[in-house]
Amino acid sequence: MEQKYLSLAPTNLKNKQAARYDGTGFSASLQEFSAQDQQALLTIYQHIKSVYDVWLYMKESPNYSILQADTDWFVSEDFLSIARELGSIAEYPSLHIKKIIHDIRGGALMSMVSHANKIKRFNLYHEVEHMRSFVFLARDQAKMMRNAVHNIDVITRAADERIRIHSIYDYVKKWNNFEYRHNDRTITVKVQCYYEGNVTTCCLEASALDRVVYNFVNNALRFSKEDTIIITIFPVGNILRWVIENTMKSESVAWLQESTGNNLSRLFQGGITSDGNGIGLSNCADIVGASFGISAAEAIDRRYISATVKDETFYACFHWNAVVEEE
């Protein structure tokens, strides 16, 4: 393993969780949102779940053109209006609710819109790879919404809680060569994986991990100077280190160092942003900390989650427990 990845954090991190983290702890009930946001959440969720449900139904003999109307909805004015207004009118005193809205508006939803735009623009409804990517984004977003709003779909949420092992192959297959359209650029995600094992033990835990990974990748997407984002995954004992790296423009590096006072750990405390609300990476610290049985503050302080800039390359790093046999 390259020293640049090993040096990003200590190699003696420990899990203080008595039982394996199950993905819970960072959700709200639908009733905690305003009436308008409740309706928006339900509408978005129903359209997203419809995409994956239709795909499951026709899985053995897929006809992706059936999904055209569902795909087009994500570039329609109806959707864009709902997405713009989600969380923007109600004044929520709770930062917890604001964090949930952030993860729902980001997550895989941003990528779904990007893919839907490309599919419609180039009439790719019959192109299997593009449509499969869109479908799997819908699957991830639906899972993350059930993780974040625990009663938006009670029956499927209960299924998410059941034991179901997810291998690292699921993540490598999903992310390697994944393409984003961002500001008229195509940015490709590449994965370097040095682990051959399992990562999560149920869909609810997998969706919590997804909330972290999507936050990291979406952040890299916004600031990437070049057209490649690299995810590197490798074991340090029974703990997996995930590194998401992207090059940055020199002015972005200068802004970052000035905004954080040359202390990039502040990114995970919230409030530092160039054009957003600055809470996405603090969400990650909450979830990563919980997965190890520690507070977000301890996770940041002990570098279970961290960030570094070296030679205009930004390295965002977090850890997750591997699934070992005795579990």
Give the list of residues 6+ apart from residue 272 with CB closer than 8 angstroms, or none. Answer: 259, 260, 266, 278
| CA-closest candidate to residue 105, choices 258, 182, 215 | 215
Number of Cβ atoms within 10 Å of the Cβ of 296: 21
- Pairing state of beta strands 305-310 and 239-247? unpaired
Res 280: pLDDT: 76
User: Could you give the angle at the alpha carbon of 246 between the alpha carbons of 244 and 251, nearest 5°?
Assistant: 135
Q: Which helix H or strand E contains 190, and what residues bound it?
A: strand 185-193
Give me the residues of the chain with pLDDT under 50, please: 327
Coil, strand or helix: which one is 13? coil
Res 269: pLDDT: 87
Q: Which two tokens stand for residue 27?
A: 């959700």
Architecture of the domain made up of 1-22+164-327: 2-Layer Sandwich (3.30)
The reported pTM is: 0.95
E strand map for the chain: 163-167, 178-182, 185-193, 198-202, 228-236, 239-247, 305-310, 313-321
Q: CA 284 from chain center: how many Å?
A: 9
Q: Give the Cα separation of 319 and 303 in Å (integer).
A: 9
Q: Which two tokens stand for residue 221?
A: 């997407």
Average pLDDT, the chain: 92
Domain boundaries, the chain: 1-22+164-327, 26-160
Res 41: pLDDT: 98
Give the list of residues 6+ apart from residue 121 with CB closer than 8 angstroms, or none. Answer: none
